[in-house]
Structure 1
């Protein structure tokens, strides 16, 4: 019987909504979903580990990855570059494992161009007030950068309608349960399983 490919799950949403926290909680639950580590030119935040949270690159290194077509997608966001190395994503899916990309909204549409079969989930904050509080609570951005992030966030929320699913991150454990339910449902879709099980009833 033909081996079922893994799912490509794309999780995006405005900065500060908790994408990294939700992805980390998914990993801790040992769901079997692999985590795709992105490359970025921004500086590491406290506690972030090279190769675990991000691959931290200089701008010259990142531009070299673009020129050599080593990125599934990339985007410039508030003065820094972010991108997804492509080889690990392809290998994981072909091996039948699910993989989740935690990326910015800009990057999500570049992924959809190359992987239209991906599952696109928009992570929503409970409110814009709560979103701002989360960004301020990081203590890593200036007031000017915070204001820019909020302006971009409003634009990104308008793009929510282009996603397959919307998950509110009111409580991390609830957001995780919603995403797990989406993944389970997607694995049960007829179009994913039809070719696999058609072989059971074919007359030899």
Structure 2
């Protein structure tokens, strides 16, 4: 899975996560600077099987409408979250500090977990620290009415720095993707660590 990081605004970086391969089969970044900052032995996206992991999502609120229907009503986003014609998310962007990006990799917080939820087998792809992924205040959006792919997100009031400016204007922070569609989100691709760091 390609997770890139490049300079954005002063003091922050722009991250882009490609949830699906741009072409058939993974194509790894060739100019990443990640090994200059992270021990190559730590660069991995672990795959685990935990049938009970899905029970954590039972405590979270499931939103009434699909992700696209809720957009601009329940939440806004910092940058782009791309979807395909059916409504499945393909890519998202967000800001973070360089240290957070490096630490998420160093702690192997990007993971793929096979689990069960609502009587169905899912793969969970995590994009934050586990305590953020499992925050019971998170909400869940279905991508389509097929209910085979879901977004786990935290809705956070709009801030400028550390100051809350608009309590009711909430931004979506993408925490995890739950997918029963291995055809759309291939596991081989998801587990391929492609951390594309560019500081130039």
> Could you say which TM-score interval applies, normalised by the shorter chain?
under 0.3
- What is the TM-score normalised by the length of structure 1? 0.25
Which structure is higher in strand share?
2
Which structure is higher in helix share?
1
The structure number with the bigger radius of gyration is 1
- What is the TM-score normalised by the length of structure 2? 0.25
